[in-house]
Structure 1
Amino acid sequence: MGYRIFTDATADHSPEMLAGFPEVTVLPMEVILNGKSRIYGPGGDMDVAEFYEALRGGATASTTQIRPDVYFKHFSPCLEAGEDILYLCFTSGMSGTYQTAQMCAQELRESFPERTIRCVDTLCASAGEGFLVREAARKKAEGMDLDALGDWVEANRLSVCHWFTVDTLEFLRRGGRISTAAAVVGTALQIKPMLHVSEEGKLEVAEKLRGGRRAMSAQLARMKKGWEPSIGKLVVIGHGDSPEKAEELKTLVHEAFPDSEIQTAPIGPVIGTHTGPGMLAIIFWGSER
């Protein structure tokens, strides 16, 4: 009966990005908001707008890995229906989710020995993971079988370039990415760090820029340096509840790369917990991650 693509709620995307492509099942994830457990994703009880409104109001947030019972709950009916599974997982460089998924998959293989369950570490995060999932759905629509698609994702995942800036240093400080002293000095100097996801799938600071305009220019410069449209022309602009800034960056990208296929996507609570409101990302196929 074929196979189904699964991913998790860290794979930020818009409904338009997956419209017309084979179904992708998204696993919900837990976010602790002001000490209370909330669920983000299909069937969840929290949306993006509510989350960022809470953060702007001073709320605290943290995230947890997907529990094993969530994998069993979502994978088992698919396997029982005779479908195989390709799971495109949040980067192992930022979470133990991939290791948990592998353990659950092995247990399910014992119960469903005739089925195939393949877990792929995307080494991508947020809109970058959503970007890769969308491109995988495109390849499935073109007729790729499960094994070929899994191989394709592993061969191309490091060509997904993530370049993003944050509007405030506070959430990087809370997550231990920068020190309190660095956050205080950076805020005073209006520093807008540009971060990226490394080849190991880890979040790293690439540049320290002053002002939002310079930050956008730096993001565009990264794309000019390494864009590889031969792999695909999709470009995703991700934003942390900042649609106006996303539209501004989208216009700049369209002017510089008129052949690009640009989509915008909200940055959800799982990643937004660590980047805060105002985060702005540009994702594209490129030669320099």
Structure 2
Amino acid sequence: MSVLLIDADGELWYTRQEELGVRCIQMPYSYCGNEYYYDLGKNTDFDAFYKAVRGGEVPKTMALNPQEYVDIIEPIFAEGEDVLYVSFSHKMSGTFDHLHTALEQLKEKYPDRKCTVFDTKSISLGAGIQMEYAAELKNNGASDEEIIAALTEFTDRVAVYFVVDDLMHLKRGGRLSGIAAFAGTLLGLKPILTLDENGSLGVLTKKAGKRTALKLIADNVVKQLTGTDYSVYVVDADSKDDGDWLADQIKAKRPEAKIVRQVVGPVIGAHCGPGTIGVIFIADKRPIPLAK
């Protein structure tokens, strides 16, 4: 069995990583002239980050370079261990090209070691809960091959919905055209976003007003929530009141739901902006966004 590796975009809280015995690739971000690596809440000043962004600061995220990947993976190979990396959606970043370069370099020095990369086709805790599942399987004695087979089925049932406050953040990140962002902001439209079966960002529908959009998300969770533990992860980017409201809407109609609340970290928050609300849960299948 391999060492399990996750990245910061999976937003699995640092204490949970420790409980599961997984290692994390900390992703870089910068704001106000300083560069940081997201440590999933261990030393992160979320308030300072979102206060700066609300004040007009434009944060940036950076892809890890090949040498940084080598520095993370080589010590594991040197211990005689393989790696099973449960990653965020490959459609979201070009960083995986750098990972591939790093693995090619390491192959020459460690020909008997391997790094298997599983694309969760998701982001935030949509990827994080897949790592939780992988860790539970490993701890119960599953092989790498059995874990990959189970994740391949499981990933198609991980539903993610989210709504952003300011469409211009998505525009700056290249996720939305300038015209669409301007028009949506002018009309007060709130697109409900999701991730398709390939891990690409898509629009499910658009609603006038944030609470209207959140109400539709709550209705979808109530209808689609399945599984055995009924966990529902509600995440917010400096928007606790809206997140709590959404959680209450779900709980009122599905009292068996186990609500888990968490803040959106600065790496994802740099792209979606403050005010974003997301929900992640297990459904029969992923939502299907509108055709582009």
Do the structures match in fold with TM over 0.5? yes
- SS of 1:137's partner is helix
1:213 aligned partner: 211
2:6 aligned partner: 7
The count of corresponding residues between Structure 1 and Structure 2 is: 286
Greater mean alpha carbon deviation, residues 72-81 or residues 39-48: 39-48
Give yes or no for contact 2:11–2:40 (8 Å, CA) kept in 1.
Answer: no
Shift of residue 73, structure 1, vs aligned partner: 1.3
1:258 aligned partner: 255
Shift of residue 166, structure 1, vs aligned partner: 0.7
Give yes or no for contact 1:31–1:64 (8 Å, CA) kept in 2.
Answer: yes
5 Å-filtered alignment, 1:19-58, equals 20=19, 22-34=20-32, 36-41=34-39, 47-58=45-56
- SS of 1:93's partner is helix
Shift of residue 285, structure 1, vs aligned partner: 1.3
Separation (CA, whole Å) in 2 of partners of 1:135 and 1:262:
18
1:247 equivalent in alignment to 2:209? no
Counterparts in 2 of 1:66 and 1:85: CA distance versus 1, 3 Å:
same
Task: Kindly provide the amino acid, as one letter, of the partner of residue 175 in structure 2.
Answer: R
Counterparts in 2 of 1:225 and 1:162: CA distance versus 1, 3 Å:
same
Greater mean alpha carbon deviation, residues 179-188 or residues 220-229: 179-188
Counterparts in 2 of 1:211 and 1:19: CA distance versus 1, 3 Å:
farther
Q: Is there any run of 5+ residues in structure 2 with no aligned partner, and where?
A: 288-292
1:127 aligned partner: 125
Give yes or no for contact 1:31–1:270 (8 Å, CA) kept in 2.
Answer: yes
Query: Which residue, 193, 196, 217 being the options, matches 1:195?
Result: 193
Q: Is there any run of 5+ residues in structure 1 with no aligned partner, and where?
A: none
- SS of 1:217's partner is helix
Separation (CA, whole Å) in 2 of partners of 1:154 and 1:210:
36
Separation (CA, whole Å) in 2 of partners of 1:148 and 1:109:
24
Task: Kindly provide the amino acid, as one letter, of the partner of residue 246 in structure 1.
Answer: G
Give yes or no for contact 1:237–1:282 (8 Å, CA) kept in 2.
Answer: yes
Shift of residue 259, structure 1, vs aligned partner: 2.7
Separation (CA, whole Å) in 1 of partners of 2:97 and 2:162:
27
Task: Kindly provide the amino acid, as one letter, of the partner of residue 277 in structure 1.
Answer: P
Shift of residue 45, structure 1, vs aligned partner: 7.8
2:97 aligned partner: 99
2:272 aligned partner: 275
Task: Kindly provide the amino acid, as one letter, of the partner of residue 136 in structure 2.
Answer: R
Separation (CA, whole Å) in 1 of partners of 2:247 and 2:144:
33
Counterparts in 2 of 1:43 and 1:107: CA distance versus 1, 3 Å:
farther
Give yes or no for contact 2:29–2:38 (8 Å, CA) kept in 1.
Answer: yes
Counterparts in 2 of 1:234 and 1:139: CA distance versus 1, 3 Å:
farther
Query: Which residue, 72, 75, 80 being the options, matches 2:73?
Result: 75
Separation (CA, whole Å) in 2 of partners of 1:82 and 1:130:
26
Give yes or no for contact 1:61–1:273 (8 Å, CA) kept in 2.
Answer: yes
Give yes or no for contact 2:13–2:40 (8 Å, CA) kept in 1.
Answer: no
- SS of 1:123's partner is coil
Give yes or no for contact 2:234–2:261 (8 Å, CA) kept in 1.
Answer: yes
Shift of residue 91, structure 1, vs aligned partner: 0.9
Counterparts in 2 of 1:123 and 1:39: CA distance versus 1, 3 Å:
same
Shift of residue 211, structure 1, vs aligned partner: 1.7
Kindly provide the CA deviation profile for residues 65-108 of structure 1, in whole angstroms up to 9, marking residues without a partner as x.
12212221121222222322111112111112233323323432
Give yes or no for contact 1:13–1:266 (8 Å, CA) kept in 2.
Answer: no
Counterparts in 2 of 1:78 and 1:266: CA distance versus 1, 3 Å:
same
2:290 aligned partner: none
Separation (CA, whole Å) in 2 of partners of 1:209 and 1:140:
42
Separation (CA, whole Å) in 1 of partners of 2:100 and 2:226:
32
Kindly provide the CA deviation profile for residues 141-161 of structure 1, in whole angstroms up to 9, marking residues without a partner as x.
332222211222223212211
Give the fraction of aligned pairs with identical amino acids, expressed as a percent.
30
Separation (CA, whole Å) in 2 of partners of 1:258 and 1:44:
31
